[in-house]
Structure 1
């Protein structure tokens, strides 16, 4: 099967800038006698087009009589049977089928009429209710379909080009469902269920301390169950492992056959089974038809990563810590260590919790449930209150002058001062100052990507300097050897005697002086009293080794966006995509290399990709990480939009895997850990990547991963539904249309790890047909080749990454995943500091000759790009639906 492949060819010097693109494939390829293409040797993995680009103007069955009428009973039976067998409908509740029936249209075609043609886009899924049709591939008959057969289902998912033609052999009637209708119904059904589940969970007391992420994961993981009137749901005396929430109907609650109460919609039962695994204390019987959602202890453990009671206590502790005016100033990892170290106690009413004459400040107490009272019965602390958080920072303390007692059943957390300081790394006041300084250092561009251990070392080198009003802090044209971060106050910046701006709290200046031997470019004067953290060049060089300095220099060079298009010269073509052309360019003065992607305005208007380009630019502007490709600047002129990008010297990961032949466990750890830190970085910025695969990863000249091609990335606000990505790497929740979030990237990472170790992808490895691939993904029959039978740790982490439950893939967070036993001997700090031995270092070619030729040629960029645009093959795609012109859409380019 031929698929559109916009991979940029050329040498190992190539950089990846793949455009958004479609696949030319549908269900019909599975009906052919096709030869399977080995994915371990052939590079043919094209991503599905992003629906943000817009929909093609396509008409299926143009000569059909189309009727919007009710189905007959016989037709409904045929349609029901067909959709019930189709994987797209398999995960939808059966009661939703009537919604589909009501929105389907009847198509009637005479003999020898075209339903649709090969290589044309389509939007409709068809079910035959009378007559016969033939399937033609390259004008040869490959199949005959008849009553009850269905075809074209991939058109319901995305803009894919038909891989076969369909023609009627006789008069035919079919019922058709159009993509937008299908997606709208699926979204309504899943949104409704999801929102209902969320609302139910939020009303249940035992879940009220869960985080938003945990609640969303539970809502996604709840299973629906139905019971008929009189059916026993729970049997008294049985061991319980399921928790139920009633969504519709009502139930009897019976003890020893005696009715205790009736429960109805919104009420729940079985919660004790989740926590204590004890016997059912009552029987539950359906009064009428009852619909419930439920979750079992095993699934809950997968989703939340631990016992529910422990999770609730941990979340309660975090709520209390974050409510403390003092402790909430600590970093998240410090708070988590405190939460882990706290001792939990359950106390009876009247117990003395803090005896009289106990010295204040020796312990911190957190009320997790119940309340504390004094000897007079007055409430001292209620749920989520903390005693001792203010006192623990002081060295001299008085004693408590009366007993503090539990007023009712109490759950309390306790931690000693010594344990507390061990968790945070020292006395509280000192740690808070260090945290503030570390946070400020992270604001400085050149330090942003340093590991935490390096930042801590730099913080220890900081000194505090005070300046009085109008005191000169640095002077223009003087030599510089320090960076300054404003701790308090305001400073004015003057250039050639003219005030250009004021900067204040946590802003910084002089950062280039620690890396380059440059004179000060401006004078900085205190405007009122000013306090600064100061880091000298000598201190910086003592902490940061040569390799990291080299990386920082590269990053700071990429921050130079004072570049005009006229200062660049084209070195060579890197590749052509559907919408744009990518060239290697060089700066005429400093000889710095960049990648320039140009998109012609005519194509932008023809395919209405303005919003897509705006989104891509906004996403790339947020990226400033050594392992993520960086956008330097965008340009525009009357002909084109331009993206000036970091040029990555190296090789794409797809080719690296095949060059390496065997990938050891240590090698796979390196690559997966690198990609995991990349995903962590982009997810923290509310971005889901959606197209993680070897073709979109570069191995740079130092052997480290570089994430490229953000064409399918999206800024998330909740869940999204678009079906995008390469079929072999798409997570199951994307296929079934239930809505998805960041966990789809973790699934793709699991596919890559499996591919590294086993030499192929786990689902549909020998398939080209997306339909077959999707079915294999949904079946999730995860097997491993015999040669890794003893590599149990790798198999375990792959099984977790490819879990059906999205949140179970990380165990709750990427930080939790980093603590997986498979990473026990892996140094995350050495990875960040680029100190690890890399598995593969690409051979980098010398481009000096080509660069010199381009500079001597001094050809106009516009002329060279115009020639390449004229060479570009005509697109097969039909025109898109006309949209209203977008005015000033490119104002920020």
Structure 2
């Protein structure tokens, strides 16, 4: 295979998207199908078929020959076939410019066996080109699509609790400082994700420490969980490589073997930047090929440096609050807590912020634009934000929900306000009228954690199912941090999903707080669009969640196996379920942060349910942990500038795009390449035909770079989605009442039927031995024994 890879063309460079191919003027030649077998195992897609199906796949191969100069594929076409090159060369060109050459053993078009995709390149035979071709029609007729395994995309997390080894800063000469500054500036992966100003760069340079690395030492090991540091090379050289797969190791193709060496980093270079953003196993190995010296920067220092700008913003907000009369009696730390919880809201010209007579539930600080104050249809005055002034209105809503005495209408082209509602205020402090009545020496009312509000009567449903009464029946799925099994209650025959987390891996990755948050979030949820929690258990090595069973399968696997990509009624139905689930979560101040088709399940009736609260969190204001699934990362998540529940609406837009097109809009082979595309914005994305019209408009409205401008974040909230043209004619009431007929109903024969799940033990997350550490972090986890 080639050294430059993409998801669907084994020799195309990263900026050439997947290329499903079809033949043009291809001539057949009788070649035994069994000759294809040695090529098939090299294809990533076919490695997900049971080995017993390989002969069936080989028999589907049809020899195709192209003469020199034949155009195999034309840019812009849509294809339905997959090709493996048996002999000969082919040129890959984009816009008339050659970008790669394909040779024997290279393949292209695997995604065409699953879905329609427009060609983004042309391919021409440079010599006589002999290929094996498999058509999508043949692939489906033989039932091979149904037998494919579709592994989940893994989520990544920040590892908030984990204690990193941070060494004291080392002394630095002026030349060393200059080298480090240039290295930080020249690291394109880092610069494309995070905007570092001169002050932030200086702080990182100040904090770095020096280490010597002898020749032969592996500084970074592929798959290592201790992925916490970024390195700048002062002197010496390092090689970067990835492990070959078994099929690659067996290949005689020298170019393929060479592809596993990713390059050399010399003095002035840097590596390990992904570790600065979040916790994830190392993606490659880095070994010193000379005696070397490096500078080291840890994730904690990097994150705190970025958060410093947010702290400066909070100080500005406190300055605004100092001018609010009804908040005059708040203590300094209370005003700071309020400032941190302020959220941004965007408005357009002529839009009403609120209207005279409606109940007040929030107050506003105008930071951009101009508004008119209108009472009894007569304009009273205008308020304008400037560098020095941030006018306020509606502040009495923090005391009472009395009717608004005037209408506030935007008169500038756009406007932006900081908003605080009464409920949020009371979650972080307490009712304002009580604060105003207290004595001067009363203690601060700032709460360390926002109040978690379990469902009324939720405790009554716990403690009824003991783990010893559960019998394991089989593996349902594997996520980034846990595995899920089908279990049966041996006494009453009820079946459930049992999610198991390795306690050692939880501690290793610093996810203790997240796991406890997952339990608390599940306690708060009570929606038919969210998987229900029945019990939690605490074993010596494992934590368990006993969850509602949804035997219809994951939406991701269902879409791939049933060929549902591009079907608008299905996309509407599943996005509607997500919309209701998010509306429920956000009403409780919960942000989900890990939407993707893998985290949507279908029950036996075809109803959709959101699952896996592993990264969900109760948030007041902003939070700064970078976590989620890279394909669905929002810009503010990548930039580490803090995010709110607006991040969920970004992921809803990505989901809609994927359900209609078959792939996420910023898809790339490596996370950093995804982040670079996300940073450029949704306006740079080419929308395929099935994703145009009202669907494209909705995706763009959900994927605004500014979180405050995303459709549900504007006045009207979730109703803005329901009223969008994409949902014209959709019966939202019937959907909410669960009376709408699902567009697809899975086959489920019994409450033990696992036919819609095909998890493999190879995908199990790491099981790390756990030894009680004495902190008691898990003591309140179990609801039953």
Q: TM-score, normalised by structure 1?
A: 0.53
Which residue does 1:305 correspond to in 2? 347
Q: In structure 1, how many angstroms separate the alpha carbons of the residues matched to 2:230 and 2:685?
A: 33
- Whether the aligned pair in 2 keeps the contact of 1:755 and 1:761 (CA below 8 Å) is yes
Which residue does 2:295 correspond to in 1? 175
Residue 836 (str. 1) matches residue 737 (str. 2): no
Correspondent of 2:489 among 566, 575, 587:
587
Q: Aligned Cα RMSD in Å? A: 4.9
- Whether the aligned pair in 1 keeps the contact of 2:516 and 2:781 (CA below 8 Å) is no
Post-superposition offset of 1:585: 2.5
Post-superposition offset of 1:733: 0.5
Which residue does 1:647 correspond to in 2? 549
Change (3 A) 1:822 1:681: same
Residue 166 (str. 1) matches residue 286 (str. 2): yes
Residue 99 (str. 1) matches residue 203 (str. 2): yes
Q: In structure 1, how many angstroms separate the alpha carbons of the residues matched to 2:214 and 2:315?
A: 47
Deviations 1:802-840 (A, max 9, x none): 110112112422233333333342221111112323221
Post-superposition offset of 1:178: 1.1
Post-superposition offset of 1:46: 3.0
Which residue does 1:890 correspond to in 2? 780
Which residue does 2:444 correspond to in 1? none
SS at match of 2:190: coil
Deviations 1:250-286 (A, max 9, x none): xxxxxxxxxxxxxxxxxxxxxxxxxxxxxxxxxxxxx
Post-superposition offset of 1:795: 1.2
Correspondent of 2:317 among 198, 203, 206:
198
Which residue does 1:757 correspond to in 2? 660
Q: In structure 2, how many angstroms separate the alpha carbons of the residues matched to 1:774 and 1:110?
A: 33
Correspondent of 1:798 among 699, 707, 716:
699
Gaps of 5+ in 1: 11-32, 60-64, 222-302, 324-341, 349-366, 370-381, 387-391, 393-409, 415-506, 510-555, 852-867
SS at match of 1:583: strand
SS at match of 1:634: strand
Q: In structure 2, how many angstroms separate the alpha carbons of the residues matched to 1:562 and 1:881?
A: 29
Which residue does 1:666 correspond to in 2? 569
Post-superposition offset of 1:37: 10
Which residue does 2:719 correspond to in 1? 815
Q: Which has the higher contact order (CA 8 A, sep 6+)?
A: 1
Change (3 A) 1:36 1:850: closer
Which residue does 2:442 correspond to in 1? none
Correspondent of 2:230 among 125, 148, 152:
125
Post-superposition offset of 1:150: 1.7
Which residue does 2:174 correspond to in 1? 72
Q: In structure 1, how many angstroms separate the alpha carbons of the residues matched to 2:609 and 2:303?
A: 34
Which residue does 1:46 correspond to in 2? 153
Post-superposition offset of 1:627: 1.3
Q: In structure 2, how many angstroms separate the alpha carbons of the residues matched to 1:83 and 1:508?
A: 53
- Whether the aligned pair in 2 keeps the contact of 1:754 and 1:761 (CA below 8 Å) is yes
Change (3 A) 1:564 1:145: closer
Post-superposition offset of 1:736: 0.7
Q: In structure 1, how many angstroms separate the alpha carbons of the residues matched to 2:725 and 2:310?
A: 35
Post-superposition offset of 1:741: 1.0
- Whether the aligned pair in 2 keeps the contact of 1:744 and 1:806 (CA below 8 Å) is yes
- Whether the aligned pair in 2 keeps the contact of 1:57 and 1:879 (CA below 8 Å) is no
Q: In structure 2, how many angstroms separate the alpha carbons of the residues matched to 1:76 and 1:36?
A: 45
- Whether the aligned pair in 1 keeps the contact of 2:566 and 2:690 (CA below 8 Å) is no
Which residue does 2:530 correspond to in 1? 628
- Whether the aligned pair in 2 keeps the contact of 1:723 and 1:734 (CA below 8 Å) is yes
SS at match of 1:51: coil
Q: In structure 1, how many angstroms separate the alpha carbons of the residues matched to 2:693 and 2:662?
A: 17
Which residue does 1:82 correspond to in 2? 184
Residue 116 (str. 1) matches residue 220 (str. 2): yes
Deviations 1:392-446 (A, max 9, x none): 9xxxxxxxxxxxxxxxxx99569xxxxxxxxxxxxxxxxxxxxxxxxxxxxxxxx
Which residue does 1:826 correspond to in 2? 730
Q: In structure 2, how many angstroms separate the alpha carbons of the residues matched to 1:190 and 1:384?
A: 24
SS at match of 2:262: strand
Change (3 A) 1:148 1:599: closer
SS at match of 2:640: coil
- Whether the aligned pair in 1 keeps the contact of 2:209 and 2:297 (CA below 8 Å) is yes
- Whether the aligned pair in 1 keeps the contact of 2:500 and 2:543 (CA below 8 Å) is yes
Change (3 A) 1:216 1:821: farther
Post-superposition offset of 1:563: 3.2
Deviations 1:18-50 (A, max 9, x none): xxxxxxxxxxxxxxx999997896845533443
Q: In structure 1, how many angstroms separate the alpha carbons of the residues matched to 2:49 and 2:520?
A: 27
Post-superposition offset of 1:872: 9.4
Gaps of 5+ in 2: 8-47, 51-101, 115-148, 245-259, 328-334, 364-373, 384-392, 398-402, 409-454
Which residue does 1:154 correspond to in 2? 274
- Whether the aligned pair in 2 keeps the contact of 1:36 and 1:768 (CA below 8 Å) is no
Which residue does 1:514 correspond to in 2? none
SS at match of 1:304: strand
Larger Rg: 1
- Whether the aligned pair in 2 keeps the contact of 1:692 and 1:749 (CA below 8 Å) is yes
Post-superposition offset of 1:185: 1.0
- Whether the aligned pair in 1 keeps the contact of 2:168 and 2:207 (CA below 8 Å) is no
Which residue does 1:731 correspond to in 2? 634
Q: In structure 1, how many angstroms separate the alpha carbons of the residues matched to 2:609 and 2:596?
A: 12
Which residue does 2:678 correspond to in 1? 777
SS at match of 2:377: strand
Which residue does 1:688 correspond to in 2? 591
Change (3 A) 1:73 1:200: farther
SS at match of 1:768: coil
Change (3 A) 1:629 1:96: same
- Whether the aligned pair in 2 keeps the contact of 1:604 and 1:610 (CA below 8 Å) is yes
Q: TM-score, normalised by structure 2?
A: 0.59
Equivalent residues in 2 for 1:118-517, closer than 5 Å:
118-120=222-224, 121-138=226-243, 141-192=261-312, 194-199=313-318, 202=321, 303-307=345-349, 310-312=351-353, 314=354, 317-318=357-358, 344-346=376-378
Deviations 1:329-355 (A, max 9, x none): xxxxxxxxxxxxx9852268xxxxxxx
